[in-house]
Structure 1
Amino acid sequence: METLQIGEYTLTWLRGGVTHLDGGAMFGVVPKPLWAKKYPHNENNQIPLRTDPILIQGNGETFLIESGIGVGKLTDKQKRNFGVTEESSIEWSLKKLGMTTADIDYVLMTHMHYDHANGLTKRNDEEFVSVFPNSKIITSKVEWDEMRAPNIRSRNTYWKENWQPIQEQVQTFENEWKYGPIRMVHTGGHSDGHSIIILQDGGETALHMADIMPTHAHQNVLWVMAYDDYPMISIHAKEKWLEFGLSQKAWFTFYHDAIYRAVKWNGENELVATVKRAE
């Protein structure tokens, strides 16, 4: 498992599963001849996308960014449509680190779409139960409200199985949530309640822009997904926070990227440091 050190905090990528989604949908209006130069695709025009949560450990506490694609939550048809070739093995990943899901103090949910939130719950006989029973689950109030009352567009990605079993654990915030060196900031864009995460410690910064910059190939401010509910908000948020990250010489971390776990860019948009995903 790949790691990254930010001050006194260690980031570790767990195995949360892999999907293959349509490249045109993932890059929106960007022509294929452009995006295909920056990210691989298969014969079906699908691009590989990880769903790997990031474990953060430091100061005696443990955080998890996102929860993975889950286990046993998808039908065969959904697996085919979403190109799922691997489900989550979070418990296995944590066991390799001498931990269990009961050891996670906070689960930080940038948003609650199925590919981020499926791993929050699992089936136990005839019911679904929390995977992280001792965790506080943090998400924006806007996101939490829409998850429980989705609109005609979002109802296919907000599943009751993912929120009903954990509702007593959820804590929401309006604009910003802060705990020690970690901040969650509501941005909107990809979803109305979408948030990003900033970790600053020891003079170093990690910026997790979640699905407003899902892979390193989405660095161009105008390259936003067709999946975004509010693409112009995504563009403005990406522009603002990309500038912030570059000013801080930040590591940009990824949940979906199948090539890099984290990257640093210089002012000329050139990669100057990377953490590559091991095969």
Structure 2
Amino acid sequence: METLQIGRAKLTWLNGGVNFLDGGAMFGVVPKALWGRKYPYNDKNQIELRTDPILLQIDGKNYLIESGMGNGKLTDKQIRNFGVKEESSVDGSLAELGLTPDNIDVVLMTHLHFDHACGLTKPAGDGYVSVFKNAAIYVSQVEWDEMRHPNIRSANTYWEMNWQPIQEQVNPFQEELTVTDGLKMIHTGGHSDGHSILVFEEGDTTWIHMADNMPTHAHQNKLWVLAYDDYPVTSVHQKEKWMDYGYRKQAWYTFYHDAYYRAIKFDESGHKIDEVERKRYEYE
């Protein structure tokens, strides 16, 4: 497991699963001749995407950023259509660190699409139960409202089994939430109406988790947004704002979906000056 220490915050990437999605959908109107230079693709024009939660350990608490693909919740059709090659093994990753899901104090959900939220619950008997039963779950109020009352488009990704068992644990916030000293969740919209990012600042160190407003390193260009984005123009404006902000501070940017990089640090001009590569294995 890759780790990164930024100030008093330690980040560790867990194994949350992997799927392969159409590269064109992941890069919207950007031609393949351009995005194909930035991110590898297979013979079906699909790109590899991780769904790896980040364990954030700070001030003696265990925070989890996103929850992974989950286990035993997708139908055979969904597994095929979503290109799922591996479901979550978050329990195993935590066990390697001497932890269990019961040790997670807070789960930070940037949004609640199935590939981020399926790991929140698991099958039990004829229903589902919470995985991180001792944790408070933070998500924007806008996202939480749409999760429970999806529209005709979002019903395909906001699933009842991912929210009903955990509703007593959810603590929705409005525009901005201070999670702990130096760490904020900020509602941005863009990818979804309730999408949020995470910003951590301590002294002259900064890291930003853009979530699906910049899901991989290849989405660094402010105009490269997803066909999956509900509000692509908002995504562009939010990327412009937070990329400029981070560049000025030489911030680290962390990734949930990137199959090649866990985090990248950029200078004031947007050039890469440091990186944490994801370890790849022979079977991949």
Task: Verify same fold: TM over 0.5.
Answer: yes
Structure 2 counterparts to residues 17-36 of structure 1, below 5 A = 17-36=17-36
Structure 2 counterparts to residues 84-123 of structure 1, below 5 A = 84-123=84-123
Moved more, 262-271 or 208-217: 262-271
Greater than 4 Å deviation, 4+ residue runs: none
Which amino acid in structure 2 is aligned with residue 53 of structure 1?
A: P
**1:131 corresponding residue in structure 2:** 131
Query: Contact between 1:21 and 1:46, CA under 8 Å: does it hold in 2?
Result: yes
Counterparts of 2:269 and 2:195 in 1: how far apart (Å)? 28
Aligned length: 279
1:58 correspondence with 2:55: no
Query: Contact between 1:147 and 1:159, CA under 8 Å: does it hold in 2?
Result: yes
What is the percentage of aligned positions where both structures have the same residue? 63
RMSD after superposition: 0.8
**2:253 corresponding residue in structure 1:** 252
CA drift of 1:202 comes to 4.6
Structure 2 counterparts to residues 123-272 of structure 1, below 5 A = 123-178=123-178, 179-272=180-273
Task: List gaps (5 residues or longer) in structure 1.
Answer: none
Query: Contact between 2:120 and 2:132, CA under 8 Å: does it hold in 1?
Result: yes
Counterparts of 2:99 and 2:182 in 1: how far apart (Å)? 23
Structure 2 counterparts to residues 37-52 of structure 1, below 5 A = 37-52=37-52
Which amino acid in structure 1 is aligned with residue 154 of structure 2?
A: S
Which amino acid in structure 2 is aligned with residue 268 of structure 1?
A: S
SS in 1 for 2:221: coil
Counterparts of 1:245 and 1:271 in 2: how far apart (Å)? 12
CA drift of 1:165 comes to 0.1
Counterparts of 1:242 and 1:271 in 2: how far apart (Å)? 13
Counterparts of 2:182 and 2:100 in 1: how far apart (Å)? 24
**1:8 corresponding residue in structure 2:** 8
Deviations 1:146-194 (A, max 9, x none): 0000000000000000000000000011100102221000000100000
Which amino acid in structure 2 is aligned with residue 3 of structure 1?
A: T
TM-score (norm: length of structure 2): 0.97
Counterparts of 1:8 and 1:264 in 2: how far apart (Å)? 17
Counterparts of 2:41 and 2:248 in 1: how far apart (Å)? 32
Which amino acid in structure 2 is aligned with residue 249 of structure 1?
A: Q
CA drift of 1:215 comes to 0.3
SS in 2 for 1:85: strand
CA drift of 1:248 comes to 1.2
Task: List gaps (5 residues or longer) in structure 2.
Answer: none
Deviations 1:129-157 (A, max 9, x none): 00000000000000000000000000000
Query: Contact between 1:9 and 1:201, CA under 8 Å: does it hold in 2?
Result: no
SS in 1 for 2:122: strand
Which amino acid in structure 2 is aligned with residue 276 of structure 1?
A: E
Which amino acid in structure 1 is aligned with residue 216 of structure 2?
A: T
SS in 1 for 2:137: strand
Counterparts of 1:251 and 1:203 in 2: how far apart (Å)? 12
